[in-house]
Structure 1
Amino acid sequence: MGGEVATALQEVTARLAAAATRAGRDRPPRLVAVSKTKPAEAVQEAYEAGHRVFGENYVQELVDKAPQLPADCAWHFIGHLQSNKVKTLLEGVPNLAMLETVDSEKLANKLDSTVNTSGEESKYGVEPKDCVALARHIHESCKHLRLAGLMTIGMPDYSSRPENFQCLSDCRKAVAEALGLPEAELELSMGMSGDFEQAVEMGSTNVRVGSTIFGARVYKS
């Protein structure tokens, strides 16, 4: 990739650090480098530059890509997951670190019945008013899962206003109070290429950056 990915990764890391400093935070959030539609070689370049946390949106793409890369990569699945793809994902990616997009009790139950050890997960596609109920179900009824936090994709153009991020923060507060957990134990996964600096300033603990690191995505016609 001619060093372009490594250079872009360094620039994004610096921007994250600066945003964290502006917000008075001790450290920047976790950076998930999202390689959707990009080849394994691009991920390998980021890996060789020292990065270890990567994200994918599609099950088959992740299942195909993960075995081509070092086992210490920590993969986050950040796309919509269908129940019939759970086994394929969990068996195909043993180094799956987090599933950020659980949006129903049905999916949570399917995950819980498929995995054998504790995993991490959070949510996707849930109305704010339903966050507490789903979080409670995962936390209390899914013994093989660990509730990691909440996630939003923000606006359709991937650039969010403060109120979008504030909504997720409010949901985290409600979930923490309902479950008797410290807010700090629940992550806020928010911020993408177009708005990750603002997300950091609004409290994000996990940002998902793709095209700014790997370049514009190429979709098959």
Structure 2
Amino acid sequence: MMDLQENLQQVEANICKACENAGRKRSDVTLIAVSKTKPIEMLQTVYDLGPRDFGENKVQEMCEKMEVLPKDIRWHMIGHLQTNKVKYIIGKTELIHSVDSLHLAKEIEKQAAKQNVTVSILVEVNIAEEESKFGIHKEETISLIRQIAALPHIQILGLMTIAPFVENPEDNRTYFRQIRQLSVDIDAQNIDNVRMDILSMGMTGDYMVAIEEGATMVRVGTGIFGERHYQK
């Protein structure tokens, strides 16, 4: 059995180091434990070690885990969200990180209005313009944000990106910088109902660099839970 406590301590030490490098406070960065495909027992163990923010990729898996795990967990939807699944998570998530179209935002608005709740979201930007990834292109971000901002049951809190998978995390520094700059540019426009408080960027391979470049949320799965096994 891998030592989840050791893994978590190592991640925590790395976050502290990256914050120190950047002259930031540790409290500026939220660690999201990415628990997709991991069994309930592992999540419970990590929960018992302190983390309260967990990230899931699939709606059904998230809902099943919500049923049985402690109620004070803050659930983050970090995977691609299909419009037909939106209704299952409205009012249950801390934050939806992966909004990348007006079509999806309108469905979130519709379901949120039904329940009379306000849903916090991030807009997902495909900063490296990779064919294989979801997210909008940098140039389209501001116009999409302006459109979503008009929806009364949604609040935009920032941006999310999934940087390329690289051997050397330094290779992604330029992308993290671009996202940070984009958030500054959007913030400067003072759009109603839009805040740029959150930058969700950086995963197991590159979260230290992401923190140095301004990430306020890092999504770490393998670094905490070990390699993923997809076969059931």
TM over 0.5: yes
Identify the match of residue 154 of structure 1 among 163, 166, 178.
Answer: 163
Task: Verify: 1:128 aligned to 2:138, yes or no.
Answer: yes
By how many angstroms is 1:89 displaced?
2.6
Q: What's the C-alpha RMSD, in Å, of the aligned pairs?
A: 1.9
- Whole-angstrom distance in 2 between the partners of 1:174 and 1:134: 14
By how many angstroms is 1:157 displaced?
4.3
Task: Verify: 1:48 aligned to 2:59, yes or no.
Answer: no
Task: Verify: 1:197 aligned to 2:194, yes or no.
Answer: no
Task: Verify: 1:187 aligned to 2:161, yes or no.
Answer: no
2:5 corresponding residue in structure 1:
6
By how many angstroms is 1:172 displaced?
0.7
1:61 corresponding residue in structure 2:
61
By how many angstroms is 1:185 displaced?
4.1
Residue-by-residue CA offset, 1:126-183 (whole Å, 9 max, x unaligned): 10001101111222x11111111001100034855211111111221221122358x9
Task: Verify: 1:137 aligned to 2:147, yes or no.
Answer: yes
- 8 Å contact from structure 1 (residues 53, 73) kept in 2: yes
- Whole-angstrom distance in 2 between the partners of 1:64 and 1:157: 32
Which secondary structure does the structure 2 equivalent of 1:198 belong to?
Answer: helix
Stretch of structure 1 that moved more, 38-47 or 171-180: 171-180
1:79 corresponding residue in structure 2:
79
Residue-by-residue CA offset, 1:82-108 (whole Å, 9 max, x unaligned): 111101232xxx541000000001111
- Whole-angstrom distance in 2 between the partners of 1:132 and 1:98: 20
- Whole-angstrom distance in 1 between the partners of 2:122 and 2:195: 14
Identity of aligned residues (%): 38
Q: What letter is aligned with 1:18?
A: K
- 8 Å contact from structure 1 (residues 73, 95) kept in 2: no
Q: Which runs of 5+ in 1 are unaligned?
A: none
- Whole-angstrom distance in 2 between the partners of 1:24 and 1:201: 9
Task: Verify: 1:39 aligned to 2:28, yes or no.
Answer: no
> How high is the TM-score relative to the length of structure 1?
0.91
Q: What letter is aligned with 1:36?
A: K
Pairing 1:155-174 to 2, within 5 Å after superposition: 155-157=164-166, 159=169, 160-174=171-185
Identify the match of residue 221 of structure 2 among 210, 213, 216.
Answer: 210
Stretch of structure 1 that moved more, 192-201 or 160-169: 160-169
Q: How many pairs align?
A: 215
Q: What letter is aligned with 1:152?
A: T
- Whole-angstrom distance in 2 between the partners of 1:145 and 1:184: 12
- 8 Å contact from structure 2 (residues 32, 220) kept in 1: yes
Which secondary structure does the structure 2 equivalent of 1:80 belong to?
Answer: coil
1:16 corresponding residue in structure 2:
15
- Superposed structure 1 runs of 4+ greater than 3 Å apart: 156-160
1:105 corresponding residue in structure 2:
102
- Whole-angstrom distance in 1 between the partners of 2:36 and 2:191: 36
